[in-house]
Amino acid sequence: MDARRIIAALRDGETPSAEDISWFAKGLAEGYVSDAQAGAFAMAVLLNGLGEAGRVALTRAMRDSGRVLSWDLPGPAIDKHSTGGVGDCVSLVLAPMLAACGGYVPMISGRGLGHTGGTLDKMEAIPGLSTEVSETAFRAVTAEAGCAIVAASHDIAPADRRLYAIRDVTATVESLDLITASILSKKLAAGLDALVLDVKCGSGAFMKTADDARALARALVSTANAAGCATEALLTDMSQPLAPALGNALEVAESMKVLTGQTRGRLAELSIALGAGLLVQAGLAGSAEEGARKLDEALSSGAAAERFGRMVARMGGPVQFVDDWQRFLPEANVILEVTAPEAGVVTAMAGEALGLAVVELGGGRQVEGDRIDPSVGLSDMVRTGQKVEKGQVLARVHAARLETAEAAVDQVRAAISLGGTAPEALPLVLERIT
Ligand code: URA
């Protein structure tokens, strides 16, 4: 076979055969396709598309370019993937909830990307906990706690690792086909029986419009199902942060409040909505209503919190974490209030700007390899549609130093719009895509 022939076909708007695409993806992992050829391939796919069959072939081939796990557990292997948002700590809440309902959640997660937080960075805000574990440890934690949130090992979808780095420097990240194959190759390599996708849409998401988010959700769902994993997606609102806090330790704290029954709110609501359908797909509930009841019970009985505690302890965190999480989470040196300059209603929140403010505080990476400060971020955030008086707290900034805190106060105030009339309230779940 010849890489040039495959690239030329894509360039001319033809769809190469599944065999050709598999050969190309294998070449990415094995090195017989050059960087230049990979860049040209990515650009041709971005411009002309792969078509449904080509997208499935690329996803399968990238999944199979490395290790594909299989499980021998007493229940189904299931997972959730989010396309990324702000204040989105659903994974920390939902993984133990699903475990408490009889599922096994081998969750291979990522670090922060751009303005969005990363589940691994949040988990590592827990002192002593490491997400870089061996496959043996990954399997043991999954079996014993029912859930394990870990980093991908180097042998998971190596073709994606190489292509992603090339896309990053060739302006080809934005291709629907390439995003789909990239996300799913890693998720499907975890050997899942069922998957739910949380495709976010709005100011804090990568997809700002419902049309773009819907197109991505459809591509992800049809490709994952064609590749043999029962999958559905929810299109969900990201026009404001999901939880009222952003930042690693602060989002762990929000998750603990939900898991220990201190609060419910949108984080619990979305976790239940995502998990209910997944339990049905996995055969652990007869209907979405029954799934939702089981998940609710996992929270109120403390069973999900107990699973979270088991996972944390097995991954090196404090054994008493669930009982005493406030004592263990790091706290920032400086906490400043962002107050309303006038009375009004919160009309909009610029989610991406809020996420970037947290990155600048040191809660995310500006360049690869940056060290993260787990204690920084925003808390006590107002919600869209909320009425505020002049001087009322809109959010609290948690920072390492006064100067960075003051800069963030200005950024956060600018990101929260106040006006005279409440905007139309959006439902949290906009659409279900099967
Ligand atoms: N996340 C991924 O893993 N890959 C993409 O291409 C985009 C987001």
Closest CA to 253 of 322, 190, 157: 322
For residue 373, is it within any domain? yes
Q: Write down the ipTM of this complex.
A: 0.96
The angle at the Cα of 210, spanning 255 to 413, to the nearest 5 degrees, equals 55
- Residue 260 falls within a domain, yes or no? yes
Classify residue 201: in a domain, yes or no.
yes
Give the Å distance between the CA of 179 and the centre of ligand 1: 5
CB 38 within 8 A of CB 45: no
List CB contacts of 107: < 8 A, sequence separation 6 or more.
Answer: 79, 80, 91, 95, 119, 147, 148, 149, 150, 190
pLDDT of residue 186: 95
Distance between CA atoms of 180 and 56, rounded to whole angstroms? 9
154 is an active site residue:
no
Which residues are CB-neighbours of 202 under 8 A, at least 6 positions away? 208, 237, 238, 239, 240, 351
Say whether both 340 and 225 belong to one domain. Answer: no
Last residue of a domain, which of 252, 283, 314?
A: 314
Q: What is the pTM for the complete model shown?
A: 0.95
> Known catalytic residue: 387?
no
pLDDT at 423 over 90: yes
Residue 94 within any structural domain of the chain: yes
pLDDT (0 to 100) of residue 410: 98
174 confidence band (pLDDT: 50, 70, 90) = confident
pLDDT average, residue stretch 289-308: 98
pLDDT range class, residue 166, cuts 50, 70, 90: very high
Residue 202 lies in a domain: yes
Question: Ligand 1 centroid to 183 CA: how many Å?
Answer: 5
Say which DSSP state 347 is in. Answer: E
Nearest to 353 by CA among 414, 426, 419: 414
The predicted pLDDT at position 260 comes to 97
Last residue of a domain, one of 63, 94, 112: 63
Q: Is 21 exposed, middle or buried (0-12, 13-18, 19+ CB in 10 A)?
A: buried
Banded model confidence at residue 178, pLDDT cuts 50, 70, 90? very high
| Residue 109: active-site member | no
Q: Does residue 211 fall inside a structural domain?
A: yes
- Cβ(183)–Cβ(272) below 8 Å: no
Q: Which ligand 1 atom minimizes the distance to the CA of 183?
A: 3
- What are residue 419's phi and psi, to 5 degrees? -155, -165
Domain with 41, as residue range(s), is 3-63
Same domain, 92 and 140: yes
Whole-number mean pLDDT of the chain?
Answer: 96
pLDDT at 370: 84
CATH number at residue 53: 1.20.970.10
Q: Could you give the CA distance from residue 113 to residue 85 in angstroms, rounded to a whole number? A: 10
The pair of three-digit structure tokens given for residue 416, joined into one six-digit string: 């929260």
Q: pLDDT grade, residue 331 (50/70/90)?
A: very high
Atom of ligand 1 nearest to the CA of 186: 3
Residues 244 and 182 placed together within one structural domain of the fold: yes
- Considering the candidates 55, 60, 122, 186, report the single residue annotated as catalytic: 186
Instruction: Show the CA angle centred on residue 334, arms to residues 330 and 337, nearest 5°.
Output: 115
Percent of the chain at pLDDT > 70 equals 100
Neighbour count for residue 335 (Cβ, 10 Å)? 13
- Any bridge partners for residue 416, and if so which? 349
Q: What is d(CA 174, CA 206) in angstroms, rounded to the nearest whole number? A: 10
Is 428 within a domain?
A: no
147 and 260 in a common domain: yes
Q: Is the pLDDT of residue 1 over 90?
A: no
Among protein residues, the one with the nearest Cα to ligand 1's atom 3 is 183
Same domain for 286 and 186? yes
In 19-84, where do the E strands start and end? Answer: 78-82
Residue with tokens 């007869």, as numbered in its chain: 286
Q: For 89-99, what is the mean pLDDT?
A: 98
- pLDDT value at 116 more than 90: no
Task: Check whether 121 has a pLDDT greater than 80.
Answer: yes
- The mean pLDDT of 20-24, rounded to a whole number, is 95
For residue range 365-380, list pLDDT tens digits in order: 887 788 999 999 999 9
Number of Cβ within 10 Å of residue 304's Cβ equals 29
- Residues 99 and 205 reside in one and the same domain: yes
Q: Is residue 247 classed exposed, middle or buried when 0-12, 13-18 and 19+ CB atoms within 10 A define those classes?
A: buried
Do 205 and 90 fall within a single domain?
Answer: yes
Cβ–ligand 1 contact at 183 (below 6 Å): yes
CATH of the domain at 211: 3.40.1030.10
pLDDT band for 140, please (50, 70, 90 cuts): very high
- Across 282-301, b (16+ Cβ under 10 Å) vs e yields bebbeebeebbebbbebbee
Give the pLDDT of residue 117.
85
Same domain for 295 and 157, yes or no, is: yes
Q: How far apart are CA 237 and CA 273, in angstroms?
A: 13
Q: Mark which of 63, 90, 108 sits at the end of a domain.
A: 63
Which residue out of 183, 187, 195 has the highest number of ligand 1 atoms within 8 Å of its CB and is therefore the one to mutate?
183
pLDDT of residue 368: 75
**Do 241 and 339 fall within a single domain?**
no
Q: What are phi and psi of 405, to 5 degrees?
A: -65, -45
Question: Which residue, 279, 39, 357, is CA-closest to 172?
Answer: 39
Closest CA to 268 of 247, 290, 292: 292
Which string of DSSP letters, residue by residue, matches 191-251?
--SEEEEEEEESTTSS--SHHHHHHHHHHHHHHHHHTT-EEEEEEEE-SS-SSS-BSHHHH
Q: Report residue 173's pLDDT band, with 50, 70 and 90 as the boundaries.
A: confident
What are the residues whose beta carbons fall under 8 Å from the beta carbon of 369, sequence distance 6 or more?
A: none
Please say if the pLDDT value at position 156 is more than 90.
yes
How wide is the angle at C-alpha 45 spanned by C-alphas 40 and 51, nearest 5°? 155
- Say what percent of the chain tops pLDDT 90: 93
- In whole angstroms, give the CA distance from residue 409 to residue 336: 7
CA of residue 361 relative to chain centroid, distance: 21
Shared domain for 135 and 51, answered yes or no, is: no
Is 182 one of the catalytic residues? yes
DSSP class of 349: E
Tens digit of each residue's pLDDT (9 = 90 or more) over 340-393: 999 999 999 999 999 999 999 999 988 778 899 999 999 999 999 999 999 999
Q: At residue 115, does pLDDT exceed 90?
A: no
* 138-149 average pLDDT score: 98
User: How far is 258 from 267, CA to CA, in rounded Å?
Assistant: 8
Is 82 among the residues known to form the active site? yes
Instruction: Please pick, among 55, 80, 257, 266, the residue that the annotation labels catalytic.
Output: 80
pLDDT digits (tens, 9 = 90+) for 52-63: 999 999 999 999
Asked whether the predicted pLDDT for residue 112 surpasses 90, the reply is no
What pLDDT is recorded for position 400? 98
Same domain membership, residue 286 and residue 172: yes
Same domain, 308 and 386: no
Number of domains making up the chain = 3
- 374-401: burial string, b at 16+ Cβ within 10 Å, e else: bbbbbbebbebeeebeeeeebbbbbbee
Q: What are phi and psi of 429, to 5 degrees?
A: -100, 115
Considering the domain boundaries, does residue 375 fall inside one? Answer: yes
Determine the 3-state secondary structure of 371 from DSSP: coil
